[in-house]
Amino acid sequence: MAKGICPSCGTHKGIKKLSDIVKSQEDAALIQRIAPPMNPQKSVKPLSSRDILVVVGLAFILTTFVLALQNGSIMAIIIYGFFMIFFLAAMGRLIVNYLNTRKVANALTEPWREAYLIWSRLQYCTDEDLVFDPKFDETAKPEEYREKLLHYPPEIPGITAPKQKH
């Protein structure tokens, strides 16, 4: 794509595409300010070692509980019963958190794709410290461009978007 003309200063001098600036990795502070919108699917993590530890712990407690039932020790049954309740609650919380994160990510995926397409055509004027869309001559400061030019993250009823890292 050809360099656009900055709607603020009217020149094409010092105009760079945001994607080129990010690829160059030259100005870390600027890159943080103009980084592309975060892919919501990256917020959904696979099971961690902590999650696996909960599953292993639950299996251990369940096995011990079954052995306590066979021995008929009331105190052991009560103690292991409490442990089982704790681990089942922890397992339930892991599942609910995963499903909620997946719901948010799925709701934000299509708006993210649209925002990323817009971001890929945005340009930056080094003279004015402005981000602009050459297609519509809209401008914004790098700190504000996500809300003004990308309209991302969108407001979706019942969904709280993950925080964007600047």
Does any domain span residue 4?
Answer: no
- How much is the pLDDT for 125? 92
Domain span at residue 94?
15-40+47-150
The arithmetic mean of pLDDT across residues 125-148, rounded, is 88
d(CA 34, CA 107): 23
- Confidence band of 115 (pLDDT split at 50, 70, 90): confident
CA distance 17 to 19: 5
pLDDT, residue 87, reads 79
Over residues 69-112, the pLDDT tens digits come to: 777 777 777 877 787 788 788 888 888 888 888 888 888 888 88
Q: Look at residue 85 and tell me if it is in a domain.
A: yes
What pTM was computed for the model? 0.63
pLDDT exceeds 90 at position 124: yes
pLDDT of residue 143: 87
- 151-166 pLDDT, tens digit per residue, is 776 666 565 555 655 5
Is 94 within a domain?
A: yes
7: amino acid identity, one letter: P
Q: Is residue 158, in this structure, part of any structural domain at all? A: no
Task: Dig out the tokens for 94 from the structure.
Answer: 């892991």
Gap between the Cα atoms of 166 and 150, Å rounded: 15
Number of domains, the chain: 1
- For position 15, what pLDDT does the model report? 92
- Does 55 reside within a domain? yes
Q: Identify whether 100 is part of a domain.
A: yes
**Residue 160 located in a structural domain:** no
